[in-house]
Amino acid sequence: MRIEPHKCVACGNCLAVCPVSAISIDPGIRRATVNLDECVECYACHNRMSKEHLNPTLVRTIRGFLKLLRIRFDPEPDVCPTAAFAPEELTWPRSIRRAFSDPCVPHESTGVYGRGTEEVKTNDVTNRVGPGEVGFTVEFGRPAVGARFREVQAVTMALAKIGAAFEKNNPVTALMPDPSTGAINPEVLDEKVLSAIVEVKTPEAMLPAVLRTVREVSATLDTVVSMGVAARCDAEGENRVEETLAAAGYAVFRGKTNLGLGRLTNLEVPAGPAALRA
C-alpha cells in the first residue's frame, strides 16, 4: 500500500484506520507515509475509507488559509478527501501478507476467506477432531498487533518436536515444506501478517504437553498468542478436557458448542413423489 505524496493533504484520517499503526504523518514533508516493513497489506485504509477525489492543491490552500485564522478544518473521519491511497501490485513473498490479512481475499491453499481456515468450528461436517483427540487453534497477532512468520515458526517447530499433527487444510501448514518438522518456508519468515492460525491435534493424553509448550514459547515472542481447545463431549455432554484445563490453571468456559446440526442426513417425506435431503 502506498500513499501518493502529491495527493495527500496530511489530514491524518487514515492513522486511526490502520490496525497495526503503520501509517504516520511525516513532519518533514507534511504527508502521510506508510511504514512498509510494518504494513500487513490488510487494505483496511483503502477499503474502509470513502474517497472524495478533491483537488489536493485546493484542499491544502483552504486548510492553510483557515489555519492563519486559527480555524481548524478537517474532513469527515472516515474519508480520504483526495483519494491518495494507491494499492501496488504485490509479488511473492510480500503477497503472503495480504492473503493472511485482507478478509476480502481467499487463501489459494484453502479457498477460505479471512484467515484461511474454518477451524474446528465446522467439526460437525469435517470430523477433524475425533473421539479421544484434542484439537488446538493457536492464533498469532490479534488484536491489532500482527505477527511475523518467524514467530509462528518458533511455536510450530516446538509443537512438531512433541509429536503434534498439523491440520492439512490450513494455510500455515501449506507453508511448511515438511510438516513433520514444523519449519516454515524461509522466504516468508520475515513477512508480517495481521493474524495467522496454526491448527494441530493430539491424543487427549498430550493436552498438558501442548499447553506447556505453547505457554513457554509464546513467552519469548513479541506478539499476542491465543489458543483454543476443542474436544468431543460424551453422551451426557461432558469431557475430560475441561478437567485437565482447570487443573493447569486455565479458566474454562465453552466458547462454542456444535450440536450436530450441520451433518448431512436423510429425511423421509410422508407424502409426495420426491425424497428430501437436508
For residues 96 and 202, what is the distance between their CA atoms, to the nearest angstrom?
28
Per-residue pLDDT reduced to its tens digit, 9-25: 999 999 999 999 999 99
CA dihedral 135, 138, 142, 146 (to 10 degrees): -150
User: What is the residue-level pLDDT of the chain in tens, covering all 278 positions?
Assistant: 999 999 999 999 999 999 999 999 999 999 999 999 999 999 999 998 999 899 999 888 888 888 888 877 677 778 999 999 999 999 999 999 999 999 999 998 999 988 899 888 888 888 889 999 999 999 999 888 999 999 999 999 999 999 999 999 999 999 999 999 999 999 999 999 999 999 999 999 999 999 999 999 999 999 999 999 999 988 888 888 999 999 989 888 888 877 777 666 555 545 544 433 33
Place of cell 516454515: 184
CA–CA distance from 153 to each of 60, 129, 150, 161 (Å)?
A: 47, 23, 5, 12
